[in-house]
Structure 1
Amino acid sequence: MTTGHPRLSRRALLGAAFASTLLPRRARSQQGRGPASQEPADMKTRMTFDGRTMTATLYDNPSARDFFSMLPLDLTIDDYAHNEKIAYLPRKLTEEGSGPFGNEQPYDLCYFVPWAIWRCSTPTTAIPG
């Protein structure tokens, strides 16, 4: 993900942090282009938190395309453990071609299964895969 703005609101970060304590520390990624060789697709989305905007470039995989098809969304962002922001999506995303990954970076968007939760870690306290 490419960020247009490196800062998120305190409320957004808190919600993500709180939700991540309820979740296992393992996210899933999908086959499309492998994370090491994945190149962002032309699916870009702009997210606004507390008046601050950042841009995400989504990888080309089934879950990203499914997420993109739901846009625009108005989600409540919660902070989780002071290092992640989370939001519940209106429905689960496809898991076609998914598998574990451990190379997430600060500000990466992650999808946790079986919950329909979107997560973004902050740059100072990124959670290892």
Structure 2
Amino acid sequence: MSQTPSELKYASSHEWARLEEDGTVTIGITDHAQDALGDVVFVELPDVGASLAAGEDAGVVESVKAASDIYSPVGGEVLGINEQLEDEPETVNSDPYNDGWFFRLRPTDVSELDALLNAEEYQSKCDEDD
């Protein structure tokens, strides 16, 4: 069974969002998503400074099995990307919730996080999909 940290919010498209103390939001894909993808070999991330809407394409993650779009769970301006993933995309597999994060943004409306799933709801969705 994949891990689902309770402090995060989840999109049904398998991205997670963490509200940081400074008001920014860090985004990545879930353990369930990386497990389904298999070995990640490439990650395309959004441009710093890009403005994303909630649910908008933000990049692509490619594995030996498939390529999958990454969506932004909340809208905002991209403040930073995880450059480590350019050289070490496999970090997404080994540590999806910490070193394997994808990008950070300044949310346009932090209340959009309230529309996302909590850990229990997300885990139930994954169990239904399996």
Specify the TM-score bucket, using the shorter chain as the normaliser. 0.3 to 0.5
If the length of structure 2 is used for normalisation, what is the TM-score?
A: 0.35
TM-score, structure 1 normalization: 0.35
